[in-house]
Structure 1
Amino acid sequence: MGATKRQGKAGQGKGSEAAAEPRSVRVVLLALMIAMLLAILDNMIIGTAMPTIVGELGGLAHLSWVVTAYTLATAASTPIWGKLGDLYGRKGIFLTAIVVFLLGSVLSGMAQDMGQLIGFRAVQGLGAGGLMVGVMAIIGDLIPPRERGKYQGMMAGVMALAMIGGPLVGGTITDHLGWRWSFYINLPLGAVALAMVTAVLHLPKKERSTARVDYLGAALLTVGITAIVLVTTWGGTEYAWSSAIIMELVALGVAALVGFLFVEARAAEPIMPLHIFRNRNFTLMSVIGFLTGFVMFGAVLFLPLFQQSVQGASATNSGLLLLPMLLSMMVVSLISGRMTTNTGKYKIFPIVGGGLMVAGLLLLAQMDTGTSRLTSGLYMAVLGAGMGFLMQITMLVAQNSVEMKDMGVASSSTTLFRTLGSSFGVSIMGALFTSRARDAMAERGGSAATSQSAQLDAASLAKLPEHVREAYQFAVASGTQAAFLLGGIIAVIGFVAAFFVKEVPLRGAGPQPDPEGEPGAGADGAASARSRVKEIA
């Protein structure tokens, strides 16, 4: 009798859940997309405003630190935000991250010199680390993995939109309102996100953890990440790779990370529990995420340079230069997310994505001074499709590979590996590009030409003599070929790794046997996932 009554209630609730869930989830999703847009759009907007900022504040020698401070703070804080969400509740930590980001935005807009701007950008970066991991972890809390693909595909669309529209918005704001509004524009968006998250997001109550925060592990991880990012940022640019400061940073980073592993193995509540890496799928997704970041941000750096310098494209609408790649990435991500939801299958996507990414990079490595914009656009579309298959599936599989109590750590770790991959990609591909371009410049233009264009500054291309300009274009094409060839070789690792992914049934896909050694799957996982969706109604 009691069982019949419970079934009747369940059946009755099913209809109301079907009606309430789409509306509630969409409202929450909109707030999360705004929050993610804040973190991604900010860097894209600032890039176009930097010449104006330097003109007013000075400090050209420290220009790179405006970006580096933000990147460092974001990377170092990401795993800490994830763990705090696991310990003390996702909603409060996420709202705190939004407030920190908005505070950094206000202070950056009020900066009176370059030193203040760099410091306030670090505050912004601290908040951004919490925004990125918070969005992914909240989606992981609310949406069963079977349904999660389509929503994470939308997040990939937001990322593509920010990369396309960021430079356009930044240029418009700087020209008409002034560079300070490049930061102030975050305030209305952030206020909307704060209000919506506060009013609509209702996660299950979480008892305050009595576990002591792993401060030593957090400090060691922060030092290690900081050293890695500085090595990849400074190596080959600010300092020679063999210089004393780079070697010292390498030693510091290695020592800090070794110490971190030692501490985490013994901590009661580690910042990054090492046991999650025993899961094969989680480890493979971390590797694939790292390689995707490596390739993506390298492409974002070198493709506009090639199109402006070799193909004569305008720098004004630099975001539009990447349109074929970003649109392809967005469309494929949405389609693959929908297919994952409909079928519950996902292993094929990292395999196909890895293959397309390798193919796209090797095609881009064939570009030369005679390559048309249409041809390069088609090559970019192939690369974008590969990344579209990989961008969100890495997060989905990683989250499905851990228990719910480690959702924040899984989200932050995956985000961190992608961030570190981007840092390595820009550095290593950049070093190879510069080396090959200088050699090619010397081959074609001689020592005089090399000295005239040693900076490889695309803005001054029109001022160069014709023979130097042709040598410069050849040099840029040669450097681009070398960078993408390296990217293609590196991407092969991800393609091979995808074949070893084990297709574990996604939670929320209905009653499933619990696979041995793979936490979080099965009927109980499905039921708990469905109940979490109802919590927001």
Structure 2
Amino acid sequence: MSGLSSSMIMLIAFRAVQGLGSGGLMVGAQAIVGDIVSPRERGRYVGLFGAVFGFASVIGPVLGGLIVTYLSWRWIFYINMPVGGAALLYLWATLHLPRRKVQHRIDYLGAGVLAIAATAIVLITTWGGTQYGWRSRQILGLGVLAVVAIVAFIFIEARAPEPVLPLHVFRNRNFSVASAMSFLLGLAMLGALTFLPLYQQTVQHLSATGSGLMLIPMMVGMTITALIGGQVMTRTGRYKAMPIIGGAIMTVGMYLLMGLGVGTSRLTSGLFFVVLGVGMGFLMQITSVIVQNSVDQRDIGVASSSRSFFQQIGGSIGVSIFGAIFARRLTEAMAARLPGVHLNAANGQFNPATVNQLPAPVRIDVFYAISHAIQGVFFWAAPAAILVFALAWLIREVPLRSTVGPAPGEQAGQAPELVH
């Protein structure tokens, strides 16, 4: 349906439908592993998850660039139909899960109110200071709506028989810390990396396909460390050091990417991406194991979905915040370097095709402005990486069990013994 869209409203609506399915798939895969694999063995599978994620993250942008270049943007959606269909048939034939008949009461009201709160927060960060002033009635109204929705959500969840997000899991220190880390990871990674293609396709003269290929160094670093981290976790049963190391390396990567400029070579930027990928490889999937190992078996599903939710919300807010930072710094640099030239980022006048057709002297100054803007994005993304590093020290290492379900002698709802 997204490929058949004839307007932006239709595309947004159909993408929302698509998100309902993809969100369930992402969380469902993690919950299945948490339900049938012991925490000690889970690290190995988490490493494989990270490796597959890294591989798909490289192939996806490359194929997307080729599809847009030689076919149409609509085929970005059409291509998922045979791929998804093949995956569905394979799972239908090979995935055999334990059968448990349990009656559930789905918390539709809580899920709906949470969606309203999340949407209001994202719209505030998207429109605030750009489309509407921070003190405008639109932004203030969204702020009131977000606060009311959050208060209502807490009230509903405290009384729901089966809440979509049980409030008691937040009393678990590891769950709260890992959720905060996931939010900051999404904010820093998804938010900051969104603007790299423009820099690569203008300043570094890459095609859309080449821009996707430039992600390979980052994903190679992420894949290697995800596999190593998973093996170390399975063999030793310990994991606290990995998010600490990952947060430190990710901070270094953000610092290096602040130096992207007009004269930065592709090799240099590729090495910067490797450093960032190594850091993220120790973080992206490890947080999933932390939350799953820190809650009761019955809460593994909501713990996994909550972690993914916070990461996605962080990414959405990051794109909005860093988009405003990018646009402001771009405008300031253009005004300083080219006071008589008026180019509007909102109208697509900074797309690679338009920029590459500008006169050479103007084009060089535009390259400087884009570089100045991307440097600012990573400058403000670095504090999020620093906070991830700081939060990682607060994780308490819960021994990874070698059995599925509660440990012997441990009742449901009783926290495992902590290793300090």
In the alignment, which residue of structure 1 is the partner of 2:392? 498
Aligned partner of residue 346 in structure 1, secondary structure: coil
| 1:452/1:114 CA distance change after superposition, 3 Å | closer
**Aligned counterparts of 2:67 and 2:200: Cα–Cα separation in 1:** 25
Are 1:125 and 2:10 an aligned pair? no
| 1:230/1:346 CA distance change after superposition, 3 Å | same
**Aligned counterparts of 1:250 and 1:429: Cα–Cα separation in 2:** 20
| 1:432/1:504 CA distance change after superposition, 3 Å | same
Q: Deviations over 1:224-244 (max 9, x none)?
A: 112123333444554444443
- 1:235-254 to structure 2, matched below 5 A, reads 235-254=128-147
| Alpha-carbon shift at residue 206 of structure 1 (Å) | 2.1
Structure possessing the higher relative contact order (Cα contacts under 8 Å, 6 or more residues apart): 2
In the alignment, which residue of structure 2 is the partner of 1:473? 367
Aligned partner of residue 419 in structure 1, secondary structure: helix
Contact 2:327–2:345 (8 Å) recurs in 1:
no
In the alignment, which residue of structure 2 is the partner of 1:82? none
| Alpha-carbon shift at residue 335 of structure 1 (Å) | 1.2
Aligned partner of residue 326 in structure 1, secondary structure: helix
| 1:439/1:118 CA distance change after superposition, 3 Å | closer
Contact 1:310–1:473 (8 Å) recurs in 2:
yes
Which one is further off, 323-332 or 340-349? 323-332
**Aligned counterparts of 1:462 and 1:176: Cα–Cα separation in 2:** 20
Name which of 30, 34, 40 aligns with 1:140.
34
Are 1:193 and 2:87 an aligned pair? yes
Name which of 191, 195, 200 aligns with 1:298.
191
In the alignment, which residue of structure 2 is the partner of 1:327? 220
Are 1:309 and 2:197 an aligned pair? no
| 1:119/1:411 CA distance change after superposition, 3 Å | same
Are 1:460 and 2:380 an aligned pair? no
Contact 2:202–2:356 (8 Å) recurs in 1:
no
**Aligned counterparts of 1:371 and 1:174: Cα–Cα separation in 2:** 27
TM-score normalized with structure 1 length: 0.71
Aligned partner of residue 391 in structure 1, secondary structure: coil
Which one is further off, 110-119 or 135-144? 110-119
Are 1:161 and 2:55 an aligned pair? yes
Are 1:385 and 2:278 an aligned pair? yes
| Alpha-carbon shift at residue 273 of structure 1 (Å) | 0.3
Contact 1:402–1:519 (8 Å) recurs in 2:
no
**Aligned counterparts of 1:150 and 1:407: Cα–Cα separation in 2:** 18
Whichever of the two has the greater Rg, that structure is 1
Q: Deviations over 1:399-419 (max 9, x none)?
A: 111111111100100000000
| 1:285/1:453 CA distance change after superposition, 3 Å | closer
Q: Alignment RMSD, CA only?
A: 2.7
Contact 2:296–2:412 (8 Å) recurs in 1:
no
**Aligned counterparts of 1:517 and 1:197: Cα–Cα separation in 2:** 31
| Alpha-carbon shift at residue 277 of structure 1 (Å) | 0.8
Contact 1:306–1:476 (8 Å) recurs in 2:
yes
Are 1:282 and 2:202 an aligned pair? no
Q: Deviations over 1:484-537 (max 9, x none)?
A: 111112221111111111111012179989899995647xxxxxxxxxxxxxxx
Contact 2:185–2:384 (8 Å) recurs in 1:
no
**Aligned counterparts of 1:484 and 1:354: Cα–Cα separation in 2:** 15
**Aligned counterparts of 2:102 and 2:410: Cα–Cα separation in 1:** 31
**Aligned counterparts of 1:453 and 1:413: Cα–Cα separation in 2:** 35
| 1:519/1:415 CA distance change after superposition, 3 Å | farther
Aligned partner of residue 208 in structure 1, secondary structure: coil
Are 1:407 and 2:305 an aligned pair? no
Which one is further off, 177-186 or 465-474? 177-186
| 1:379/1:509 CA distance change after superposition, 3 Å | farther
**Aligned counterparts of 1:134 and 1:187: Cα–Cα separation in 2:** 20
**Aligned counterparts of 1:201 and 1:519: Cα–Cα separation in 2:** 31
| Alpha-carbon shift at residue 475 of structure 1 (Å) | 1.1
| Alpha-carbon shift at residue 134 of structure 1 (Å) | 0.6
**Aligned counterparts of 1:113 and 1:291: Cα–Cα separation in 2:** 33
AA of the residue aligned to 1:329:
M
Aligned pairs, number: 414
| Alpha-carbon shift at residue 213 of structure 1 (Å) | 2.9
Contact 1:438–1:450 (8 Å) recurs in 2:
no
Are 1:449 and 2:367 an aligned pair? no
| Alpha-carbon shift at residue 356 of structure 1 (Å) | 0.6
| Alpha-carbon shift at residue 129 of structure 1 (Å) | 1.3
- 1:41-56 to structure 2, matched below 5 A, reads none
| Alpha-carbon shift at residue 168 of structure 1 (Å) | 2.8
| 1:377/1:397 CA distance change after superposition, 3 Å | same
| Alpha-carbon shift at residue 361 of structure 1 (Å) | 0.5
**Aligned counterparts of 2:372 and 2:410: Cα–Cα separation in 1:** 50
Name which of 311, 321, 324 aligns with 1:418.
311
Are 1:362 and 2:275 an aligned pair? no
**Aligned counterparts of 1:176 and 1:482: Cα–Cα separation in 2:** 34
| Alpha-carbon shift at residue 422 of structure 1 (Å) | 0.5
In the alignment, which residue of structure 1 is the partner of 2:160? 267
| Alpha-carbon shift at residue 291 of structure 1 (Å) | 0.9
Which one is further off, 177-186 or 214-223? 177-186
**Aligned counterparts of 2:305 and 2:313: Cα–Cα separation in 1:** 12
Contact 2:343–2:350 (8 Å) recurs in 1:
no
**Aligned counterparts of 1:195 and 1:116: Cα–Cα separation in 2:** 29
Contact 1:304–1:322 (8 Å) recurs in 2:
no
Contact 1:445–1:467 (8 Å) recurs in 2:
no
| Alpha-carbon shift at residue 378 of structure 1 (Å) | 1.4
| 1:428/1:180 CA distance change after superposition, 3 Å | closer
TM-score normalized with structure 2 length: 0.90
Aligned partner of residue 335 in structure 1, secondary structure: helix
**Aligned counterparts of 2:171 and 2:372: Cα–Cα separation in 1:** 42
Are 1:338 and 2:231 an aligned pair? yes
AA of the residue aligned to 1:190:
G
- 1:20-31 to structure 2, matched below 5 A, reads none
**Aligned counterparts of 2:30 and 2:78: Cα–Cα separation in 1:** 25
Identity among equivalent positions (%) equals 50
